Each structure stands twice: as C-alpha cells, then as structure tokens.
Structure 1
Amino acid sequence: MGTAEPEMPKSYDAVLVVGFGGPEHRDDVIPFLENVLRGRNVPRERMLEVAEHYYHFGGVSPINGQVRELIAALEPELKRRGLDVPIYWGNRNWNPLLADTLAKMTADGVKRGLGLVLAAYSSYSSCRQYREDVARAQESVGGPAPPIDKIRVFYNHPDFIAANADRVRDALAQIPAERREATRLAFTAHSIPSSMAANCRYEAQLTETCQLIAEAVGAEPENCRLVYQSRSGRPTDPWLEPDIVDHLRQLRQEGVEDVVVHPVGFLSDHMEVLYDLDDEAQKACAEIGLNMVRAGTVGTHPAFVSMLGELIEERFRGTAVRRAIGMFGANHDVCPVDCCLPPPRPAARPSAT
C-alpha cells in the first residue's frame, strides 16, 4: 500500500465532474465533432467518417447518460461520508460545457471546487488538457470563477482494481469451464501518439493496472496482454501498438479459441467501446472463428463509486493515507509543471466517446 504527501485540506464547497461529452441527438453529431476538432488540421472527410460511427447508434453517444448515472450513484456516497456538497458537471466538447457550468457555479456562490476528471491514467489528453479546459472556462467567466483543484489519478487504487477484476471474472464465467484455463485476456486502452506517451506515465500505469487485475483474477501472465484500440492520426505517425484487432488475429493464428477483452482504459461503455470492440472486434472474431467475450467497464460498480467517494473525502479532509497498491504508490495531488506535456503536434483524428 502506498502513500503520498497530502495537500493541506482546503475549504471546498462543491465537486465538479469533468467529462469528454458526446452527442445526444443525430443533429448534435456534426457540431460535437467540430468542437472536438477545433484548431486541428483534420480533413472534413475524416470527420464525416467518424460521424458514421455515431449514426450507426442513432446519433447518440451513451457517455452523457453514463455520467448522469455515475453522479446519481456518487451523491448518496458522499452524503454517507458526511459530505453534503453539490455535484456539478461540465464537458470538454458538448453540453453541459465547462464554461456554462463554471458560470453556474460562480452564480451559485461556489468559492472553491474539487475536480473529478473521468480518467484513471496520466497523459496529456486525459490530464493536462482537461486542466487547460478548466482554465479556459474560468477565463471565459472572469475573475469570480472558483478555483478548481483536481483529484489524483487512481489507476492503482485497490477498489479500482477490485471493480475491474469483478468485471473480468464475470466475463471469464461465460467461457466453458473446460476451456477457461487456456483463455487469453486482452486488456485494451485508447492508443495515443508515441510522442505523447514519451511525456507521461500512461503506458507504465496501464501495465501496472493490468498486472494487478491479472493477479486478482488468478490469470497467468503469459496469457495476458495490454493492447490498444481507437488509433487515430496519419498512418505514418507512430502510435502505441499492437492494435486489438491485429492482436486477435495473432491469437487465432496461435490456435487460441477463447479471449476475454477488457477495456481497462475506459470507465464506461461509451462509443469507442461499443464501436471498436462490440462491433469491429467482434466482427473480426466472427471472421476468424475466435470466441470473444467482452468484459464490462467499471461503470457504477459499487467499489468504483466508493473509491471516488474516498478520493474526494481525502482531499476535503486532508487525509494522510492515500490508498494505492503495486509498485508506484499513490499519485500526486498537485501536478508538477512538467507533468503530461503535450506532443509536438496534435493528433489528426477525433475520438468517438
């Protein structure tokens, strides 16, 4: 179990959930993607290609509904811990937008908020960029906008590991008992540019999480692999590999019959999980005769919700012990100035969340 030097307790009077956002109607898709791509040199044809992913599901991303469910589960958890504070919600790319939420928090008289960014790992796109988004929203509101601190990333929190392990066990239970021991476990995460990965601990943190989950479910290390999905950008640009579909094809060539795919890099079953795994990966497995069972994300698993309550409480109360397992200990509360630096240039393809 690891500990980190805690910040001195501050007088927070609100929690701000910070998310990516997603369209909730067909007419939202193009404006949403234009928000995602603003300032990036991405051909419109590529944007329209990604739009088809959303149209495949009626133009609706499930991510906003999943955030609402998480907030509904988190509210009683905070009250159980004696934290009777409002929970606000703002997104990077779609309603409710961060600027609108910060304006409401200001109008409501919030003096200081604690930010819960819905990302378990450290990278530019999952950490620093969200902090930049909050800073821009504060600037748009003006001087009275409340400061927002950020809770630490939680990739190695024991309850995060426990929640993921439960999801993997549920998936393994769907494999015939006589074939379960030979089943391979593929952990997936969003690929990022290699130049971005070089400036953060994304790969190391994911590797640690996967090892901890594998140990929890009793999987043999040689039967487990961290792979990536949702790769974007120009084909000539290096991104983290191997790709999940390539990995599945390789497994079948090796004679593997069953694989559990666990999207450990994601917190909910949003568009990238549904399209890249439940659609594309499953189709590939059907073509090659590989039985694939997709494990669920942590979603609103009770252990995950309890962990979020604990992470919020530790900052509200200045708790000295920061629970973490594995090699690295608890992550920092305050990001260093050189934490998760951006890559030399932005990626060239939007995410679909």
Structure 2
Amino acid sequence: MSYDALLWLSFGGPEGPDEVMPFLENVTRGRGVPPERLAEVAEHYQHFGGVSPINQLNRDAIAAVEKQLTAQGIHLPVYFGNRNWQPMVEQTVAKMTADGVRRALVFPTSAYGGYSACRQYDEDIERARAAVGESAPDLLKLRQFFDHPLFVGAFADAVRTAHAGLENARTVFVAHSVPESADRASGPPEEGGRRYSKQIAEAARLVAAEAGIAEYDVVWQSRSGPPQVPWLEPDIVDHVDALYADGVRAVVVCPVGFVSDHLEVIWDLDNEAAERAAELGMGFARAATPGTDARFAELVVELVREQLDAASPRKLSEFPGAGCTLNGDVCAIGCCAPAQRPASTR
C-alpha cells in the first residue's frame, strides 16, 4: 500500500523556563496531580534552564531517519508532532493536510505496549484527525519494537561500554513505573494483562543475553501520584540502597524503557541514582539510550518498509504483543485501557 508521509509522534517537552508549568499542566490535566508535585517536577526542569532535551533529540533522530530514507530510495517527508507541547500533533496533522498528505505512517517514540506507551498514541492520532475534520489523512501507527534486533543490539553495546569502566558491577535495567492497575490492564485479559511489564522484562532479557550478562535486575523510576496507589516497584534509588546492603559496590544502569535521554532519564538516573551511589561510595555508570545510535534510524526505516513493501518483521522473541498494526492486526478489546493513568512528566 502506498503512503506519502511519515509522522514522528512524541511526548513533547518545554524549551524555555516560561514553558515548564504550561507543559506540566498539559501532561497532568484531569489526573488530580497536586500543585506541590507539579512545582517539585518544575524545579527539575529549571535545574536545566527550563529545557527538556527531548525535542532536540527528536529533531536529530528525524534528520537521521530522513537521511536513511533517502539512502534507501524512499521518498517520504517526515513531519514532527507532540502530545503535550509544541509542535502539537493537531497542528502537525493540519499542516500535513494542507500539504496534500492523504495517507501517512506514524512512528511513536515508544518501543512498548501499555496505555501511555501505546494506546494513548492511538488517542493522539484520533484527536488530531478529529481536530482537522474529514479532510485529515489516514494515519497508520507502526508496531512496537522492544524486541527488534537493532534496538536490542544498540542497548547491548551501550551496556558493554558502561561496564568497561567498572569491575564487578551489577547490571540494573530501568523503565518508567506505572500504577499496578495500569500494568494489569496493559494487555488482553485472556493473556493475563501486564503486557507493559512483561515486555520490559523480555527486552531486559534480550539485551542481557546479547551483552553476555547472566545476572541482572529490572527496576523502575519516575513514580508519581498519590502514595496510596500501588505502582511498579522497586524504585531505582531504593534498589541502589538494597544492592549496597547486599555487598554490591558498583552498578551499571540501563534505561531500557526509554529511546532517548529525555529529562526523566537525566534527572532520575544521572542525578538521583548517581548521587545516591556516590554517597554510598559505589561505582556507577549509565548506559546510553539508542536514539542517537545510527541503528535507531535503520530500525525506523525497517518498520516503514514492513508497511511499504510487506517486509517480514524482525523480532528476537515470540513474545506476544508485537503491536497494534503489525500486518493489519489490531489491539484486543480492553487491551491497555487507562485504568489508573500514569502521570509521566518527562
């Protein structure tokens, strides 16, 4: 089937001090996040001049994908839209419509299933099309890619590099925490739900195997929301304490749940976890995310070719949950419903 554009769909982030609070209000609207929590998170952004790196990282990745598309003879303009901040996806889809785009593929910057990681991007697409009206282009979201060999290989090399400077370091894979209720809803009920945490665990297993690591841990970061609501645990900082108590004196942290070094990775890992390790006298290294690796652009183009040329998907596991649009498949009814919506603020 023919397509005439690629929409790069991401989370968004502020690019100046005055944008921080409006951005956070967009992210948390309707979720009951108390003002003091917003102020706390806003301070994280102000620590970096009120700028999240995510938009520039997306622009850099888009440039790499455009180069890769050209090299492979694929003539698709790439448009950039966000869920929570400029450029907003509604504006981007309006621009695509004005440019005459009729059918487009959509690359969401998340490798996993779950509500915020997957289904909410479907909602973004539908909201943007509704805002434009009947003239809006058809938009087909590309599949999840947590077990794609290029994704796994980039992370595995990053983990090996991080280990090179430390001796006897424990490997810890980290992903964004979500409420337990949201994780239970992240998958078809007949499969027992928990597609998100199962996919994170599978990605960690694949990266560890590729990197030649036999023992590792999977933990979580960036918990928010009321303390009485159970979220996936343990938290990375608590886990650093637990490792130290068990005699571990060095740790390599791999943010396997993320494709780029946006602010939550920088704050929760490079600041809070790294500082706690330093306080304890532990060696600490953080593996790079794959978004700046040349293989990431290749991965995106492979996903595009699956739809343009019916190319066979490359996967390293038979794990269920390949994605919403793999060869026309769709999510099961009830999959990834917003049970208790996580208030990510990256």
TM range (shorter): over 0.9
- Equivalent residue of 2:217, what SS? strand
- Paired amino acid for 1:298: P
CA pair 64-339 structure 1, distance change in 2 beyond 3 A: farther
- Paired amino acid for 2:179: P
- Paired amino acid for 1:204: K
1:346 and 2:341 equivalent?
yes
Moved over 4 A (4+): none
Q: 1:336 Cα shift?
A: 1.8
- Equivalent residue of 1:299, what SS? helix
1:335 and 2:335 equivalent?
no
Kindly provide the CA deviation profile for residues 258-310 of structure 1, in whole angstroms up to 9, marking residues without a partner as x: 11001010111110011001111111111111111111101221222211111
- Paired amino acid for 2:164: A
1:1-353 aligned within 5 A: 10-175=1-166, 179=167, 182-200=168-186, 201-221=195-215, 224-319=216-311, 321-328=312-319, 331-332=322-323, 333=326, 334-338=329-333, 340-347=335-342, 350-353=343-346
- How many Å separate the matches in 1 of 2:277 and 2:340? 35
| Residue number in structure 2 paired with 1:7 | none
- How many Å separate the matches in 1 of 2:336 and 2:277? 37
Q: Is the 8 A contact 1:81 1:313 kept in 2?
A: no
Kindly provide the CA deviation profile for residues 313-337 of structure 1, in whole angstroms up to 9, marking residues without a partner as x: 1111122x21101232781424324
Gaps of 5+ in 1: 1-9
Q: Is the 8 A contact 2:90 2:129 kept in 1?
A: yes
How many percent identity over aligned positions? 49
Q: 1:339 Cα shift?
A: 5.8
CA pair 133-43 structure 1, distance change in 2 beyond 3 A: same
Gaps of 5+ in 2: 187-194
Q: CA RMSD in A?
A: 1.3
- Equivalent residue of 2:200, what SS? helix
Q: Is the 8 A contact 1:285 1:292 kept in 2?
A: yes
Q: Is the 8 A contact 1:151 1:311 kept in 2?
A: yes
- Equivalent residue of 1:197, what SS? helix
TM-score by length of 1: 0.92
- Paired amino acid for 2:344: S
| Residue number in structure 2 paired with 1:6 | none
Kindly provide the CA deviation profile for residues 13-65 of structure 1, in whole angstroms up to 9, marking residues without a partner as x: 10000000000011111111111122222222221111111001110000000
Relative contact order, higher structure (CA 8 A, sep 6+): 1
Kindly provide the CA deviation profile for residues 158-183 of structure 1, in whole angstroms up to 9, marking residues without a partner as x: 111101111111101111xxx2xx32
